Amino acid sequence: MKHPKIKELIHKDFTNFDAIQYEMMNYNACFHCMGVSSAGMTEEQYVKLTYTITENLVNVLYNFNPNMTFIYVSGDGTDSTETSKTMWARVKGKTENLILKKGFKDAYAFRPGIILPKRGVKSKTKLYNLLYTLLRPIFPIMKKMKSVTTSQNIGKAMIGLLENPHHVKIITGSGVNNLVEKNNAFQKC
C-alpha cells in the first residue's frame, strides 16, 4: 500500500527492536493487531509470540513515546486475573495487564469475539478463512449478534479513540460497535 502518511518498516526479529528503535520515535499511537492462534502450541511458545514480543514492543515505544495511545487487539475470554485454566486466556490477560499498567497516555485492550472480514481482509489462519467462506451466507445474521464486529469497525474505533478517549479500557466486540455507532466522528474514518 502506498500513501504519503504510510511508512513501511520491515523488521524480522520481533524479540529485539534495538536495530530499529530510533525509527520508532515520535508516534502518537500504536495499533498492535498482531497475534497467533494458540492451537497446537506449548505455553512457552505462545508466551514468546504473544507476551514477549508485545513486552519488547511496549518497552521500546514507551521509552520514546510515553504520551502515545497504545491499542492492543486481544480476544473475547481473556482473563485479566491471569488465573484461568485456559492457557491462552492467562497469557493474553498478562499481556493486556502489561500494556494497561505501563503508563502510556492512554491504552486499550480490544476483546472482540468474532471479527467479520471487510474490504478483502484475510486471516493468516487457514481454518478461519475456511470458516469465513462457509459462514459468509449467514454474515448478515451474525452481524446482529452483540459480540460480532467487523475489521472495518475495529479500525474506525481505534482511530476514533485517538481523538475521543473513552473511560472504558477493555472494549468488547459490542463495545467496538457501540463506539462506532455513538460517535459520528468515527463514521468519517
pLDDT in tens, 101-145: 999 999 999 999 888 877 777 777 777 777 777 877 777 777 777
Please count the structural domains in the chain. Answer: 1
- Residue 75 located in a structural domain: yes
Task: State how far the Cα of 72 lies from the Cα of 53, in Å rounded to an integer.
Answer: 12
**In the block, residue with C-alpha cell 479500557:** 169
pLDDT band at 184 (very low <50, low <70, confident <90, very high): low
Tell me: pLDDT of 15 over 80. Answer: yes
Output the nine-digit C-alpha cell for 108: 486499550
- Domain containing 171 equals 28-187
- Residue 6 located in a structural domain: no
pLDDT in tens, 136-146: 777 777 777 77
Task: State how far the Cα of 36 lies from the Cα of 125, in Å rounded to an integer.
Answer: 8
CATH number of the domain where residue 86 is located: 3.40.50.720
Alpha-carbon torsion, ordered 121, 123, 49, 146, to 10 deg: 80
- Residue 126 located in a structural domain: yes
Tell me: pLDDT of 189 over 70. Answer: no
Q: What is the DSSP letter of 18?
A: G
Tell me: pLDDT of 187 over 70. Answer: no
CB atoms within 10 A of CB 102: 15
Least confidently predicted of 5-9, 12-16, 81-85, 157-161 = 5-9
pLDDT number for residue 173: 92
pLDDT number for residue 92: 98
- Residue 20 located in a structural domain: no
Beta strands at 114-116 and 148-150: parallel, antiparallel or unpaired: parallel
pLDDT in tens, 32-45: 999 888 989 999 99
pLDDT in tens, 60-92: 999 999 999 999 999 999 999 999 999 999 999
Task: State how far the Cα of 182 lies from the Cα of 186, in Å rounded to an integer.
Answer: 8
- Residue 19 located in a structural domain: no
- Residue 15 located in a structural domain: no
Q: What is the pTM of this model?
A: 0.87
Adjacent-strand bridge partners of 171: 110
- Residue 13 located in a structural domain: no
- Residue 99 located in a structural domain: yes
| Chain-centre distance for alpha carbon 58 | 13
CB atoms within 10 A of CB 170: 14
Residue 133 makes CB contacts below 8 A (sequence gap 6+) with none
Tell me: pLDDT of 152 over 70. Answer: yes
Nearest to 76 by CA among 154, 128, 13, 148: 148
What value does the mean pLDDT of the chain take?
89
Tell me: pLDDT of 185 over 60. Answer: no
